[in-house]
Chain A
Amino acid sequence: MKKIEAIIKPHMLDGVKEALAQVGVQGMTVTEVRGFGRQKGHTEMYRGAEYQVDFVPKVKVEVITTDGKAAQVVEAVKTAARTGQIGDGKIFVIPVEDVLRIRTGERGEEAV
C-alpha cells in the first residue's frame, strides 16, 4: 500500500478531486497548509507598501491506495494539478505499513 501526498494550488483542488474519483479513489483527506519552495514565497501590496508572504497557502491531499494503483493515482494528480506555472506543488509517494478501519476492524488492503 502507498500513501500519495500531494501539495497543490488551492484552486486546483476540485479538478484533482474529480480526477481521483475517475481512477476509482474512494476517499481522501484534505488539509489547508502553508509553505514555500525554491521560489521563497512572494510579495504583495497593502496600502502602498510591499510585504513578503513567506508561507504561501496550499492544499495538501492525502490518498491511500494499493500498490497496483499507485502509479495511476500519481498520474491523475499530476495531470489535474498542473498549470505549468511556478508553485504547482509536489507529489510524495510513501509506503504504508498497515491500514485499519476503526468500525469493522478490517486490516490491510481490505481497509483501504
Chain B
Amino acid sequence: MTETRWIRGALALFVVLTVVGVRVASAADEAPAGGAAAAAAPQLPAYFSGANADPAKPSWPDPTGAAAGVWAAPAGDGKGDVPGTLALPDLYDRIAHNLYSINMVWALVTGFLVMFMQAGFMFVETGLCRAKNAAHTSAMNFMIYPLGCLAFWAYGFAIGWGNWFNGPVAPGWYSSLGPGTAVLNGGIGIGAAVDAAGAATGAYTYGLLGTKGFFLTNVVNDVSVMTLFFFMMVFMDTTATIPTGAMAERWAWNNFFLYGLWVALPYCIYANWVWGGGWLAQGGVNWGLGHGAVDFAGSGVVHGMGGVIGLAGAIVIGPRIGKYVHGKPQAIPGHDIPMVVLGTFILAFGWFGFNPGSTLAGTDLRISFIVVNTMLASITAAIAAHLTLQLKGLKPDPSMLCNGMLAGLVAITAPCAFVNPIGAGTIGAIAGVLVVYSVFFFEARGVDDCVGAISVHGVNGLWGVLSVGIFATGEYGAGWNGVVRDEMVKAYGSDGVRGLLYGDWSQFFMQGIDCIVLAVFAFVMAFVWFKVSNLITPIRVSAETELEGLDGPEMGTHGYPDFAIHSGSKMVA
C-alpha cells in the first residue's frame, strides 16, 4: 500500500515537471517580436497562477495549505478522498500539491540552516574581540536576532515583499511556494500599470516599496506567505549582525538596541528594489540592460548592505582606544582563534542553505550546481588569501584565512546559480586576494574594523554583484526578471543571465549600476542614522568603560568571570 503511494507520488512529480517545463519552454519560444513587455502570458492552470474565477473553488490567502495546488476537488472538508471517484484532474491536483510541498520544505529547511548562521557570526566576532568584551559582543550577536525579527515582522516584510507578486517575471512563471503569494500585491511606485480593461494591476513601471503584510495580519494569512516571510527574515538577520563586528568593543548597548530596530528599514527598501520586484530588478524590462539587477542569494542585498552599514558605523564611532599610535595601526589580538575557526565552519555550512535555498524551490535542480559553485569559491578564496599573505611576507594568520573563506562565500552568493565551476573558482580566488588587501587598505586609513566585516561583506559583496555581469554563462535564468530577448533566444537558444565574457555587456553595466546604488544608498542611510541616533543615546561608551572592558559596565556580567579572583567558591556550612 505504502509502496504504491510512493510510486504514484514519484510518477506524479515527473509528469508535472514535464508539463511545466514544456509550458515554460514553449512560452519563451513563442514570445512575439517586441520583447518581454509584449509577450503573451500563457494559460496556466489556476493552481499555478493564483487566479480564482470560480467562487466555489478554493481561494487565497489559504491558512491551511489545503488549497495550494488543489483545484478540481477542493480538499479540507475533512471527509477525505473517495478513491473510486478520483479522475485525471484530481491526479493533477495531487501532483501540483506535491510540487509545492517539496519547494516549501526545501525553503524552510534551508532557512533553518541560515538561521543557524547567527551562531557562526557570534563565534567569529566574539573570538576576534578581547576577553574583556566577550559577553558584550556575543550578546549583540544574540539580541540582533529578536530585535531584527521584531522589526521585520512589524514593517520590514511589508516594505520588501508586499508587492512581490507584481514583480517582473518570465512568461509562464509561477510562484514556486504556491499560489498564496498572490496576496502580496500592494505597493508604491511610479507609473501604474493597467490591464486591457483599464484597471490598475498593482504593478508599476518603477516599483519603489511594498505595502502589504505589516505585522502579518489576516490579509496575508497564507502558508506560502509564511514560508517566504521566514526565509527572508533569516536572511535579513545576516545583514543586521555584520556591523556588530565592525563596531565591536566600543558600541554602547542602548545605541545598538535602537539600531536593531532600525536596520530592517534600509535593508528592506533595497531588497524591494532587487528582490521584491522593484526598479533595479526592472532595469532589464525598462532600459534593456541585461536581466535587470541580478543578485541570486544576496551578495549585494544581504552582505553588501551589511558591510556598507558597518563601514559607515565604524567611521562614525571611530577606532578603539589604542588602535592607532602616531597614526600607525596596532594589532589588538582576538582572544580565541579556535572560536573564530568554528564560527567560520558554521557559516560555511549555513551557506549551503543560503545559496541553494534561494531557488525557493527544491524542484529547481540547478541546486546541485549552486552547492558545488558555493563550495569551490569558498576553498579557492581561502587558498588565495593564504598565498597573498605569504607573498606579502606574512605567516598564514588563521583569522585572515577565515576572512578569506568567508570573502569567497560572500562573493559567490550573487552569481552562484549563473556561473560554471571554473567561473566560481575564479570569483572565489579573486575574493581571497581582495579581502587581504582590503583589510590593510581600510586599516591604514583609520577605519578600525575589529573582525574584517567591511572587507569580507562590503567589498566582496560588491565584487560578487559585479562578477555576475562578468562570469554568468547564460545557461541558467532564462526569463529572469521578466526579460526574454528574441535576439538572445535566436543566438543562444534561450535568454539566460549572461555576463560580458559570454556576450552580454549590458548585464555588466546593470550590475555596475546596482553596485553604485547599493553603496551610496546604504552608506548615506547608515551614516545619517548613526549620527542621529548618537543624539538620542550616545553611540560610544566612555573611555573608562572601554578600557575596563564593556562586559561589566554595559552588561553587568563578564564573559569569563572565573578569570578574576572572587568569592563564589566559598563553602556554605
Q: Which residues of A contact B (CB under 8 A)?
A: 44-51
Q: Does B331 contact A (CB under 8 A)?
A: yes
Contact partner of A48 (CB less than 8 A), chosen from B332, B333, B334, B439, is: B439
B330 touches A49 (CB 8 A): yes
Q: Does B364 contact A (CB under 8 A)?
A: no
Cα distance, A45 to B439, chains bound together (Å) = 15
A48 touches B330 (CB 8 A): no
- Measured CB to CB, the nearest residue on chain A to B452 is A47
Residues of B within 8 Å of A49, CB to CB, are 329-331, 443
A45 touches B399 (CB 8 A): no
Cα distance, A28 to B46, chains bound together (Å) = 84
Cα distance, A51 to B322, chains bound together (Å) = 12
Cα distance, A89 to B452, chains bound together (Å) = 38
Residues of A within 8 Å of B392, CB to CB, are 48
- Measured CB to CB, the nearest residue on chain B to A50 is B331
B400 touches A45 (CB 8 A): no
Residues of B within 8 Å of A44, CB to CB, are 331, 333
Give the contacts of B420-469 with A (CB-CB under 8 A): 436, 439-440, 443, 452
What are 12 pairs between A and B in contact, CB < 8 Å?
A45-B394, A46-B333, A47-B397, A47-B399, A47-B439, A48-B392, A48-B397, A48-B439, A49-B330, A49-B443, A51-B332, A51-B333
- Measured CB to CB, the nearest residue on chain A to B403 is A47
CB distance from A110 to the nearest CB of B (A): 29
- Measured CB to CB, the nearest residue on chain A to B128 is A47
The SS class assigned to the B binding surface is: loop
Best-surrounded residue of A45, A47, A49 (most CB of chain B within 10 A): A47
- Measured CB to CB, the nearest residue on chain B to A53 is B333
A45-B397, A46-B399, A48-B440 known; 16 new pairs, CB 8 Å cut-off, are: A45-B395, A46-B332, A46-B333, A46-B334, A47-B397, A47-B399, A47-B400, A47-B439, A47-B452, A48-B394, A48-B400, A48-B436, A48-B439, A49-B330, A49-B331, A51-B330
Range for the number of chain B residues in contact with chain A: 10 to 19
Cα distance, A76 to B345, chains bound together (Å) = 46
Residues of B within 8 Å of A45, CB to CB, are 331, 394-395, 397
Residues of B within 8 Å of A48, CB to CB, are 389, 392, 394, 397, 400, 436, 439-440, 443
Residues of A within 8 Å of B400, CB to CB, are 47-48
- Measured CB to CB, the nearest residue on chain B to A49 is B331
- Measured CB to CB, the nearest residue on chain A to B392 is A48
Cα distance, A46 to B335, chains bound together (Å) = 11
Cα distance, A45 to B331, chains bound together (Å) = 8
CB distance from A40 to the nearest CB of B (A): 18
CB distance from B479 to the nearest CB of A (A): 45
Cα distance, A92 to B556, chains bound together (Å) = 42
- Measured CB to CB, the nearest residue on chain B to A43 is B331
CB distance from A70 to the nearest CB of B (A): 32
Residues of B within 8 Å of A47, CB to CB, are 331, 397, 399-400, 439, 452
Residues of A within 8 Å of B440, CB to CB, are 48
Cα distance, A47 to B392, chains bound together (Å) = 12
Residues of A within 8 Å of B399, CB to CB, are 46-47
Cα distance, A27 to B153, chains bound together (Å) = 64
The 5 closest A-B pairs by CB, nearest first: A46-B331, A51-B331, A49-B331, A46-B333, A49-B329
Cα distance, A48 to B403, chains bound together (Å) = 13
Residues of A within 8 Å of B395, CB to CB, are 45
CB distance from A46 to the nearest CB of B (A): 4
Residues of A within 8 Å of B332, CB to CB, are 46, 51
> When each residue 363-405 of chain B gets 1 if its CB lies under 8 Å from chain A and 0 otherwise, what string results?
0000000000000000000000000010010110101100000
Residues of A within 8 Å of B443, CB to CB, are 48-49
CB distance from B41 to the nearest CB of A (A): 55
Residues of B within 8 Å of A50, CB to CB, are 331
Cα distance, A40 to B452, chains bound together (Å) = 31
Cα distance, A48 to B328, chains bound together (Å) = 12
Cα distance, A32 to B446, chains bound together (Å) = 37
Cα distance, A64 to B428, chains bound together (Å) = 61
Give the contacts of B333-366 with A (CB-CB under 8 A): 333-334
- Measured CB to CB, the nearest residue on chain A to B450 is A47
Cα distance, A45 to B332, chains bound together (Å) = 10
- Measured CB to CB, the nearest residue on chain A to B395 is A45
Residues of A within 8 Å of B389, CB to CB, are 48
Cα distance, A49 to B442, chains bound together (Å) = 13
CB distance from A31 to the nearest CB of B (A): 13
Residues of A within 8 Å of B334, CB to CB, are 46
Give the contacts of B308-336 with A (CB-CB under 8 A): 329-334
Cα distance, A47 to B436, chains bound together (Å) = 9
- Measured CB to CB, the nearest residue on chain A to B399 is A47
Best-surrounded residue of B333, B389, B440 (most CB of chain A within 10 A): B333
CB distance from A57 to the nearest CB of B (A): 14
Residues of A within 8 Å of B330, CB to CB, are 49, 51
Cα distance, A46 to B403, chains bound together (Å) = 13
Best-surrounded residue of A44, A46, A48, A50 (most CB of chain B within 10 A): A48
Cα distance, A84 to B456, chains bound together (Å) = 44
Cα distance, A51 to B331, chains bound together (Å) = 6
Residues of A within 8 Å of B397, CB to CB, are 45-48
CB distance from B558 to the nearest CB of A (A): 19
Cα distance, A65 to B27, chains bound together (Å) = 95
Residues of B within 8 Å of A46, CB to CB, are 331-334, 397, 399
CB distance from A5 to the nearest CB of B (A): 21
Cα distance, A47 to B340, chains bound together (Å) = 13
Residues of A within 8 Å of B436, CB to CB, are 48
CB distance from A73 to the nearest CB of B (A): 30
Cα distance, A22 to B317, chains bound together (Å) = 60
- Measured CB to CB, the nearest residue on chain A to B439 is A47
Cα distance, A51 to B334, chains bound together (Å) = 13
Cα distance, A51 to B399, chains bound together (Å) = 16
Cα distance, A51 to B130, chains bound together (Å) = 15
